[in-house]
Structure 1
Amino acid sequence: MDHAVNGENADSAGAPQEAMSDSGADPGGRVAALDGLAAAVLDDRGVVVGWTGTAEDLTGFPADDVHGRPVRELVADLPDDLSRAPHVPAFGQVRLWHRCGHTVDVTFRTTRLGTSAEFLVLAAATHHVADHQHGAALLRALSAQHRITIALHDTDLTTVQTNVTQDALDGRPVQPGTRLCDVLCAEDAANLEAVLRQVLETGVPVVRTSWQVSLRHRPARRHALSLSAFRLEDARGRPTGVAALYIDDTELRARRQLDLAREVAERVGGSLDVVRTAQDLADVLVPAFGELAAVDLAQSVFYGDEPAELLGGGDLHLRNAGLAPATAAWPAGIEHGTLAPPLSDHPLLRSFQHGETVVCSRDDFAALLGGPHLAEHLIPHDAHAVMAAPLYARGLALGAIVIWRTGLSEPFTEDETDLMRQIASRGALAIDNARRYTREHRAAMALQQSLLPPATTDTPAAETAGVYRPASGGAGTSGDWYDAIALPSLRLALVAGDVVGHGIRASATMGRLRAAIQTLADLELEPDEVLTRIADLVQRLAAEAPSDEHDTVGATCLYAVYDPVTRRCAMASAGHPPPVLVRPDGTAETVDIVPGPPLAVSGMPYETTTIDLEPGSVLALYTDGLVDRGADDDTDGGLRRLTHALTTSHRSNRTLDETGRAIVADLVDEEARDDATLLLAHTRAVPAEHTAHWQIPADPAAVSRAREWTTRQLTLWGLDDLLFTTELIVSELVTNAIRYGRPPAELRLIRHNVLICEVTDSSSTQPRLRRARITDEGGRGLFLVARLAERWGCRHGQNHKTIWSEQSISRAH
């Protein structure tokens, strides 16, 4: 026994030092996996009777130093459980002395040698045992994974060992000694073996490369496979084979594709802006589908129009709407908003135009562009695969999605092509919805803008500037409006209103109300009377609406009339916010006006409020969208902000139009859900020396004195060329006031860019223009006035009426 294990072990004594064979054993038969395993023999008293060379390597003690000594003398720290053991334990861990004075932690196992009283002790360093245990546990865990196939291939790429069970491949076992071509289709097996052979020759591992393979017995079904492989080497670093991990990605890839499709459904289509929708589509595809993505749309789509149907090469009129990632190093020819270059009439383009998703290489895409000279300008420098999917929706070709894969990424697969068709279809619907909304929004905006007056007006009464800001965020246009209506006698009507609701219906209602107010303004009614009649109109509109929309027809309105001669402004409100007045000294205040009910409520009275306005004052009319920022804000706070903005702008040198736009931009949020309007009126006044008054006595002889007074006044003003016609007009109007009206009566002349002649009496009788017969003695007065004046009319006030006429004053005056 001593001789069998003592000194130079029999398995190594006299053996030549030759290289290990490919099987992992040297010519003497020693297995490399057992290197470092020490062995010793103990008798029944625990005395060392046998010692191997590996035991000497472990402890540093040669056989002569330990023979005949109790093994306890070699133990540095014997555990209590071992010191009290009546016999040699079967296994355990101890700390042995090393000849150099330090200790070595070892793990041991003992076994009795046949029927003798001697024991064989096998020991190894504890950390080697732990490594072996962890490695074995890891290998067992990997081998138990049904989706992970572990295969050990020798240098001929023959399968040496694998964890594939009989039912893993539909009942077809994979036995050691088989090759990949015995399991996979020949082409797929050749591709994989080429990769494994490269790993075997270079030692460079591959990690998670994707493949599409088919089993040999079922070639029609494709499996998504992820391959990782590394080279196996012996103790001297010589290649002994390849370890390969094959992971079936079919289910995982399908799950990822479902996740991507769900993410597209959640993230794309939430906006009604065409460009935003295109950008969302590009963002969701990177990096899940490729490294770079671009969405190009037909130019007409940006404006809401239907794209033209194109076939063949040339200019496709596509413009970029989305790039992802935006910070990537895109080629010089690809920028947000740039036009796509003309394309050659290539078969790939024809396939694309017929609705097919096209996958091609870099070279094919360069040929589609017209040649390699454009490749650097329009293709990412490290792109190797391109996928282009048409955006078709409701029979319209809206644009294209272009995906690039760059660097070491895998080519596109058939499954990914199918997925892209679904994504493109959903994305096209979202973009078409945004396009249709853009078209309707533009139509509503065009209608709204066509119904609004000019932004600025310049009249003798005031300079005005109006600003309209539509709602954003998909709310659409609403019925907010403003108006500045020039009235006879140099007066000016100012209007601000807000119709309930949004969209074209609200804009159409606004147009009807604005037309009605202009008509009533021409009748020169008092503000409260105008609102009363408009309220009746709104009631009729509500009655005409469908039954479920009766309660949604309504409006608020503020109507004001400013007279630059008297410098007074009369106004009435139908549930509308009060105007803000900025005086010439820069002080601002809210006008104390009594608000009446909204226009949807008829039968309730309105009250007219009259205030004095100094020349150079600014009167601001607005809608609630300017002062109300939403549920978290109060109107009073918005009104204070508006008053402060008006006060601040009064000290600036900006024009009235610039002031209005600056105030609206400052007070209205970018994502405001309601329209906002602001009308600013910078008031003027007619100088006192440009007006003249004369009280008309209740005497028919007063007609001649009125003519004389008129002649003197026109001569004083230098209007001699208007003497004849004005005398005739005054004569007829004063005659009517004396004959048909009631005293007191007054004649007033106003000189500005026109000469205005007014006769006021206390009668409310409406004059009527008629054509007198030849035999009639009267009835020609108003007919003469109508022929001599450029225009004439009658307005009613409280307990009086005024008949007026206007004549142009030549520029020489």
Structure 2
Amino acid sequence: MATPQSMPDGAPAAVVVIDTEGTVIGWTPSAQELLGYPAAEILDRSGALLLMPERAATWDPSYGDGEHWSGFAEARHRDGTRILVRVEGSRLITPDEQAAWLVTVTPAASAVSGRACSWMEPILNRSPVAVAIWDRDLRCVWLNDAAERLRAVFPHYQLGRSLAERLPGVNTEAAQEAMRKVIVDGVPQLDREARWTSVDQHEDRTLSTSLFRLEGVDGRPLGVCSVAIDISHSRARDRLALLREASVRIGSTLDVRKTAQELADLAVPALADYVTVDLAEAVLPDTEPLQRLAATDVRIPVFRRAGVASIHEGTPESLWQRGQAVFVPPSSPFTAVLSSGRAHFEPVLDTSPGSWIEQDPDRARIVRGTGMHTLIVVPLKARGDILGVAVFVRNDNPEPFTTDDLILAEELGARAGLSLDNARRYTRERNAALALQRNLLPRNLAGAGAVEVVSHYLPTDVHEGVGGDWFDAIPLGDGRVALVVGDVTGHGINAAATMGRLRTAVRTLAYLGLPPDELLARLDDLLVRLSEEDAGPDGFPLDPTGATCVYAVYDAATRRCTIAGAGHPPPAIVTPSGEVFFPRPPGGTPIGLGVGSYESFELELAEGSLIALYTDGLIETRQADIEAGIDRLGAALAHAAALPLEHACASVIRTMVGETGSEDDIALLLARTCISTSP
């Protein structure tokens, strides 16, 4: 079988003479060597025998206009196999003065890289672009040096090898489908990106491949030319990857300082060798005001350092650590960016006498000592406010920043600015809600001589921040005390405000001496009325609110405890012997629905018993249901019951919450019944 790769290098082209009627009138030994036909079988017969497809009845060699034409064709070997060839026709006059065509036929591999096109060889083989030609059977018939070098990751770059050939660890089905589609419809496919892994699994490459149909001189499809570019380390690709990563890594939490550090960590070393994120005072409201710090004629406190990262251990480039005030010269780029809102771009850092750096001896010393030579300062903006600046510096990397680097830094700064603003707004609302809740929750709990009581409130760091959990201990006189724990739906300031209303209402109703079931019924009616007062024009509440609650009254004289619940987890009782049980009050609907009926039940508690009231944040997690949480709480209470009450409360919280924190607010109220001292 004759194939292009079987032709020796430098072999002469096959020469055929065709008359104007398409009949072969001249045949050379080289033509027989290439196509397999002896002269006796082909002379005076139609040249159609030499071409595919078989249905071709005649061959008109007069392709194109003028005296010369050239192009690719698909020749047929005597044994029936196809050979992709380059054909060139030149008009000639035979000795008997008849018009004819002199046709040279060269295999594709020799045609592209051999003598016929030797002027193209340096261009094609020195090009970093991998070029290959595939016939209609998707068999590689030619490739340049760049394609040869990619054989480790794409082993089908080999003369004579078909894409359909199965090789271990290589799946070419998508490539085959794409090539066949190009052969059928002729529409080029551009920038098809695919990731390939080397046969030894030690190297990954990403190739961007374009496919073009290869057509013969008669316009018929003959195969495909593939052009592949290795974009594994493309700058544009790396920048896009960095921006995609920024959308995931920057702003992963609603914490201003973590967000600032995420920006610094992301940009080193992908963009810079050293990055700082310095924020204005308004973004960090819980720090000491900068105005109180001492300034000099050449340095003023403008920012606080919120994020810093370096390729060098210990960040030797940084004069200030996270949380410290950052001093800058009044005429520095930092203050200019803060006032103008435009980035500062200094490809070659100016350290000459009279420059802004020379006005700051400490910075000048660091710049020279660490080899800083290029600088970008971008503002961190959101909703019209400038929150701070991000500073990008290179010292080990000798390349100066380019305008493309500036654009990338600005894009990172824009994304970080929005995340910082979200974190700032969240922090402000959460701090306001926490302050409101602290003022609304009791500061000093009193057990009225009936119980010893302690509490613990733990706000969550997720969702919208602080919620509406509350607790209280209300002395009722005559040795009686009311214990209550509740949970308002929702989070934020509205939930905290509603919690304050309910706590006040519970105290008022408790002072009236109402039993627990009647108190909850009155509380349910009150919350319904409050919702109706806040209704919109359509009559529906603008912010529907509900709550769960458990209310207990303990009488030290009778040691009786009366309990009622409204959709709340059951209380826990720990006996003096250490036994833990969870009495289940008759079911009651949450407060605020207006359809609830509540029932009380009584327990007799031994002296020294422990009563635990809590909210569902203590027992409920995404990984386990409430019943599993109740079991865990029972074990934690049994372990801590013998401890002093303060220590017992801390131990339970530590056991239930652990190091991961809570997914919801937690309120825990522990009350230990007093032991009588009378003889």
TM-score, L = length of structure 1: 0.51
Match of 1:283 in 2: 265
Match of 1:322 in 2: 307
Aligned ranges 1:633-644 → 2 under 5 Å: 633-644=624-635
Q: Per-residue displacement from partner, 1:49-85 (whole Å, max 9, x unpaired)?
A: xxxxxxxxxxxxxxxxxxxxxxxxxxxxxxxx9xxxx
Match of 1:303 in 2: 285
Give the 3 Å change call, closer, same or farther, for CA 137–637 of structure 1 in structure 2: farther
Give the 3 Å change call, closer, same or farther, for CA 141–656 of structure 1 in structure 2: farther
Q: CA deviation at 1:593?
A: 2.5
2:667 to 677, 682, 685: 677
CA distance in 1, matches of 2:302, 2:384: 18
Q: Per-residue displacement from partner, 1:574-610 (whole Å, max 9, x unpaired)?
A: 1111111112222222124323222134354322111
Given the alignment of the two structures, is residue 271 of structure 1 paired with residue 253 of structure 2, yes or no? Answer: yes
Q: Which has the higher contact order (CA 8 A, sep 6+)?
A: 2
CA distance in 2, matches of 1:482, 1:374: 54
Q: CA deviation at 1:522?
A: 0.9
Given the alignment of the two structures, is residue 530 of structure 1 paired with residue 519 of structure 2, yes or no? Answer: yes
CA distance in 2, matches of 1:378, 1:319: 20
Which residue type is aligned with residue 355 of structure 1?
A: G
Local SS of the residue matching 1:667 = helix
CA distance in 2, matches of 1:255, 1:278: 25
Q: CA deviation at 1:415?
A: 3.2
Q: CA deviation at 1:374?
A: 4.8
Which residue type is aligned with residue 673 of structure 2?
A: T
Q: CA deviation at 1:464?
A: 1.2
Match of 1:466 in 2: 455
Which residue type is aligned with residue 664 of structure 2?
A: D
Local SS of the residue matching 1:383 = coil
Give the 3 Å change call, closer, same or farther, for CA 290–509 of structure 1 in structure 2: same
Give the 3 Å change call, closer, same or farther, for CA 350–455 of structure 1 in structure 2: same
CA distance in 2, matches of 1:678, 1:136: 86
Local SS of the residue matching 1:535 = helix
Give the 3 Å change call, closer, same or farther, for CA 475–530 of structure 1 in structure 2: same
Which residue type is aligned with residue 464 of structure 1?
A: V
Identity of aligned pairs, percent?
38
Given the alignment of the two structures, is residue 499 of structure 1 paired with residue 488 of structure 2, yes or no? Answer: yes
Which residue type is aligned with residue 387 of structure 1?
A: I
Q: CA deviation at 1:362?
A: 5.6
Match of 1:590 in 2: 582
Kept in 2: contact 1:565–1:685 (CA 8 A): no
1:480 to 460, 469, 472: 469
- Give the greater-gyration-radius structure (CA): 1
Q: CA deviation at 1:499?
A: 1.2
CA distance in 2, matches of 1:138, 1:582: 90
Give the 3 Å change call, closer, same or farther, for CA 138–337 of structure 1 in structure 2: farther
Match of 1:430 in 2: 419
CA distance in 1, matches of 2:661, 2:248: 21
Given the alignment of the two structures, is residue 356 of structure 1 paired with residue 342 of structure 2, yes or no? Answer: yes
Structure 1 portions without partners, runs of 5+:
1-80, 82-134, 149-246, 690-813
CA distance in 2, matches of 1:379, 1:568: 79
Q: Per-residue displacement from partner, 1:298-352 (whole Å, max 9, x unpaired)?
A: 2441337999999996333422222235873411855652424422233534533
Kept in 1: contact 2:575–2:606 (CA 8 A): yes
Kept in 2: contact 1:500–1:552 (CA 8 A): no
Q: CA deviation at 1:262?
A: 4.2
Give the 3 Å change call, closer, same or farther, for CA 423–663 of structure 1 in structure 2: same
Given the alignment of the two structures, is residue 578 of structure 1 paired with residue 567 of structure 2, yes or no? Answer: no
CA distance in 1, matches of 2:121, 2:649: 75
Local SS of the residue matching 2:388 = strand
Which residue type is aligned with residue 506 of structure 2?
A: I
Match of 2:21 in 1: none
1:344 to 316, 329, 338: 329
Which residue type is aligned with residue 469 of structure 1?
A: L
Give the 3 Å change call, closer, same or farther, for CA 370–646 of structure 1 in structure 2: farther
Which residue type is aligned with residue 358 of structure 1?
A: H
Q: Per-residue displacement from partner, 1:523-552 (whole Å, max 9, x unpaired)?
A: 111111111101111222333344665794
Match of 1:85 in 2: none
Which residue type is aligned with residue 678 of structure 1?
A: L
1:558 to 528, 550, 573: 550
CA distance in 2, matches of 1:345, 1:601: 61
CA distance in 1, matches of 2:297, 2:236: 35
Q: CA deviation at 1:640?
A: 1.2
Give the 3 Å change call, closer, same or farther, for CA 522–253 of structure 1 in structure 2: same
CA distance in 1, matches of 2:290, 2:382: 13
CA distance in 1, matches of 2:456, 2:334: 48
CA distance in 2, matches of 1:271, 1:643: 33
Local SS of the residue matching 1:501 = strand
Kept in 1: contact 2:476–2:482 (CA 8 A): yes
Which residue type is aligned with residue 656 of structure 1?
A: L
Aligned ranges 1:15-414 → 2 under 5 Å: 139-141=122-124, 143-144=126-127, 253=235, 256-303=238-285, 314-325=299-310, 328-331=313-316, 333-334=318-319, 336-353=321-338, 354-360=340-346, 364=351, 368=357, 370-376=359-365, 381-414=370-403
Kept in 1: contact 2:290–2:302 (CA 8 A): no
CA distance in 1, matches of 2:629, 2:674: 28
Give the 3 Å change call, closer, same or farther, for CA 370–414 of structure 1 in structure 2: same
Local SS of the residue matching 1:402 = strand
CA distance in 1, matches of 2:628, 2:121: 69
Give the 3 Å change call, closer, same or farther, for CA 325–665 of structure 1 in structure 2: farther
Q: CA deviation at 1:423?
A: 2.8
CA distance in 2, matches of 1:617, 1:551: 41
Given the alignment of the two structures, is residue 645 of structure 1 paired with residue 630 of structure 2, yes or no? Answer: no
Local SS of the residue matching 1:647 = helix
Kept in 1: contact 2:274–2:317 (CA 8 A): no
Kept in 1: contact 2:546–2:591 (CA 8 A): yes
Q: CA deviation at 1:513?
A: 0.9
Kept in 1: contact 2:447–2:473 (CA 8 A): no
Kept in 1: contact 2:317–2:370 (CA 8 A): no
Which residue type is aligned with residue 651 of structure 1?
A: A
CA-based RMSD: 3.7
CA distance in 2, matches of 1:473, 1:685: 41
Give the 3 Å change call, closer, same or farther, for CA 659–393 of structure 1 in structure 2: same
CA distance in 2, matches of 1:139, 1:406: 40
CA distance in 1, matches of 2:360, 2:288: 31
Q: CA deviation at 1:268?
A: 2.4
Local SS of the residue matching 1:561 = strand
CA distance in 1, matches of 2:557, 2:524: 30
Give the 3 Å change call, closer, same or farther, for CA 335–137 of structure 1 in structure 2: farther
Give the 3 Å change call, closer, same or farther, for CA 480–257 of structure 1 in structure 2: same
Runs of 4+ in 1 over 6 A off after TM superposition: 135-138, 304-312
Give the 3 Å change call, closer, same or farther, for CA 577–373 of structure 1 in structure 2: closer
- Count of aligned pairs: 454
Given the alignment of the two structures, is residue 445 of structure 1 paired with residue 434 of structure 2, yes or no? Answer: yes
Local SS of the residue matching 2:380 = strand
Give the 3 Å change call, closer, same or farther, for CA 312–444 of structure 1 in structure 2: farther
Which residue type is aligned with residue 674 of structure 2?
A: R
TM-score, L = length of structure 2: 0.60
Kept in 2: contact 1:320–1:340 (CA 8 A): yes
Which residue type is aligned with residue 527 of structure 2?
A: V
Q: Per-residue displacement from partner, 1:18-61 (whole Å, max 9, x unpaired)?
A: xxxxxxxxxxxxxxxxxxxxxxxxxxxxxxxxxxxxxxxxxxxx
Q: CA deviation at 1:147?
A: 12
Kept in 2: contact 1:277–1:430 (CA 8 A): yes
Which residue type is aligned with residue 673 of structure 1?
A: E
Kept in 1: contact 2:382–2:417 (CA 8 A): yes
1:608 to 596, 600, 610: 600
Local SS of the residue matching 1:500 = strand
